[in-house]
Structure 1
Amino acid sequence: MESDSSMDDDEAIALSLTGDLSAYEVLVTRYSALAHRTATMLGAGDEAEDVVQEAFVKAFRHLSSFRRDSPFRPWLLRIVANETHNLTRSRGRRSDLTARLGATAAVTSPDDPEGAAVATDRRARLLRAVRALPERERQAVVCRYFLQLSEAETAQVLDWPLGTVKSSTHRGLARLREEVGRDLG
């Protein structure tokens, strides 16, 4: 097998389809952190690791149905999103998005404790506002701005029409501007 860093997704998928588990491991390694962030931000919380593991197992099982002319990342993230949705629906509650995002958010300079406190407070307010958004708007905003997916990738991940992504993102951002502006104003 080639070096992991030089193997692109298409090559790893082709080799995985022949039963090469080392090639699939390249994909798992490449996308695990992103898949975990996605599951966490979409509501899996402490169960994100389980969601990601199940998503990779399902992706491997259904790799033969993957359209080779499409990018792998959004296809995988759609599986992660579906698994997360199944989890949150079955447990009937949202996980604590704020705690997870707060733990992974960047911290300002230790030389500026006042600035760090203000930034932490603003970040906490923003995350509370994101968490309070209606489900569809929250999913759209998380995919677009926290995961930095394009509108097309977000549509693919969430299995929504592109127009729904655009309108849900727009409504979510408008609510956030109103809420965060009121809190911080």
Structure 2
Amino acid sequence: MVARVRNGEAEAYAELVRAHAETAHRLALLLGAGADAEDVVQNAFVKAYRALGGFRDGAAFRPWLLRIVANETKNTVRSAARRRAANARAAAVAAGTAEPGAPGVAAGDPEADPAGRVLAAERREELLTALRALRERHREVVVHRYLLDLDEAETAAVLGVPRGTVKSRLSRALRELARLLGEGGGSGG
């Protein structure tokens, strides 16, 4: 059937999709895709179609497809977790509360030390001011790596630069932030 698809028979790929869609959907659900399972499966089938040129003749299609579904599910679940964490951090900064889970301070906890909240807010404002003072390309790499929680490869892809450029810009940006904050963060912490 894969050979028929490679020869341009669109209906042959539709048959492959029909034959494996239920299993692919079940796998996506079992691996944690939840409400995104249908999107995961659709993306996996698109990726599989595009990658058919590299599919080995004589190899089993189903395991190959399910590996793509598993990878797509893992990426989707990881991405959703990063988005939730980034949204929580952004909400905490916008609300002027400590980041949820920060040691010794619970976000929105009325029993939290008022002096500690003031100090944390001052530190956060110092950091944001220093971040705004960075050159745009340095600020971008810090934001993507630490505030959006992307890894180096993802940051490189988003910014359209090599991974080594991300590393060097990040190094320069962190040195500049340390300088702007007075080496120790400006508040003895």
TM-score, L = length of structure 2: 0.48
* TM-score (normalised: structure 1): 0.49
| Structure with the higher helix share, 1 or 2 | 1
